[in-house]
Amino acid sequence: MTGSDLVVHVKQSPNHYWGRAGQRIWILTPHCVVGQCTAESLGELFARPARRASSTYGIDKDGRIAQYVDEANAPWTTSSYWNDCRAITVEVASDTYAPYRMNQEAYDSLVRLGADICRRYGFKRVIYAGNLWTLQNTAWPADALILSCHRWFAATACPGDWLLQREEQLAKDITSEIEEGRDLTKEETITLIEERTPTIVNRILDELARQRRTDNEMPKWAGVEDEFDAAHEHGITDKTRPNDFPTRLESAIMANRARDNAVKAAVETVKAMFLTDADSDVQATG
């Protein structure tokens, strides 16, 4: 079933059209269930053929997301063949004592689900159409997902005044969630590692240097031939003056080389930690 990874319960409803009459998805229609429901109870309701109703998704009072109709098929939700062929629809539970008012958990899940749909279909923003005429007569940008309302198509209070007053806010909340919840691309991950790792490593090295000064201890390799060779192997000294003690300037240069090498090694190590095998070409060239 084509759908969202956020789904925790699936119950296929027989109540839907097959396909979408050739239309692409560009509308999201949030509906509101009067009173509370669970992901399971709503699924049972839509599973009955006699009910002749369904929605693509359901969100229960605890914010759990269920799927009842494949996104490839038009659901029977909005009393409009035109809308449902173009829309993903979501039935959202509301408060028992305040019909149409959504719990915070349910609203947050609606935002997350909306953003997930946007990411999967390549939408960069969400716009509330405002009314039926505007919905149907605007040349909407291809990168925008448009919010519509059930009550524009039928004599119903759905989605209720509570959500109706928040449609603009919902559009904004989903739009900002698109970026927030997005996975970093491989290039962005590499940039982030290359920018942040040196700062972190330098902070650690500063702390070690501070402790060394406090302990007033000479590094062991300073007077030992083997250790001097090891330092050369690590690129810390070029051994141009192997027979004398290094001058103060040479020591400073060696210390800086050691620091640069430590940072470079750390960047490579962190890259190896965060990039998968499929990205290993980057590690090789990095």
- Least distance from C-beta 92 to Zn ion, angstroms? 10
Please give the structure tokens belonging to residue 263: 């940072």
Rounded to a whole number of angstroms, the minimum distance from the CB of residue 145 to Zn ion is 18
Least distance in angstroms from the C-beta of 153 to Zn ion: 9
Separation CA 5–CA 222 (nearest Å): 57
Given the complex with Zn ion, which of 90 and 118 has the nearer CB atom?
Answer: 90
Least separation in angstroms between CB 204 and Zn ion: 57
For 97, the token pair is 């004592």
Q: By CB under 5 A, what part of segment 4-33 binds Zn ion?
A: 31
Q: How far is CA 111 from the centre of its chain?
A: 12
To Zn ion, the closest distance from the beta carbon of 183 in angstroms equals: 32
Q: Is 149 in the site for Zn ion (CB under 5 A)?
A: no
Do 63 and 103 contact (CB within 8 A), yes or no? Answer: yes
CA distance 34 to 160: 9
DSSP 245: P
Query: Cα(211)–Cα(209) distance, rounded to whole angstroms?
Result: 5
Q: Which is nearer to Zn ion, 158 or 270 (CB)?
A: 158
According to CB under 5 A, which residues from 28 to 87 bind Zn ion?
Answer: 31
Pattern 107-146, Zn ion, x by CB under 5 A: ----------------------------------------
Pick the binder of Zn ion from 150, 160, 163, 174 (CB under 5 A): 150
In 3D space, the residue among 28, 33, 77 whose CA is nearest the CA of residue 52 turns out to be 77
Q: Which is nearer to Zn ion, 31 or 271 (CB)?
A: 31
The only residue of 6, 45, 158, 267 in contact with Zn ion, by rule CB under 5 A: 158
Asked if 201 contacts 262 with a C-beta cutoff of 8 angstroms, the reply is: yes
- Give backbone dihedrals phi and psi of 166, rounded to 5 degrees, phi first: -115, 10
What's the closest the beta carbon of residue 178 comes to Zn ion, in angstroms? 24
* Residue 197 beta carbon to Zn ion: minimum distance, rounded to whole angstroms: 50
* Percentages (nearest 5) of helix, strand, coil residues in the chain: 50, 10, 40
**Nearer to Zn ion (CB atom), residue 33 or residue 171:** 33
Q: Distance between alpha carbon 120 and the CA centroid of its chain, in Å?
A: 11
Nearer to Zn ion, 3 or 30 (CB): 30
The count of chain residues that interact with Zn ion, using the rule CB under 5 A, is: 3
Cα torsion 237, 205, 193, 271: sign: positive
**Residues interacting with Zn ion, by CB under 5 A?**
31, 150, 158
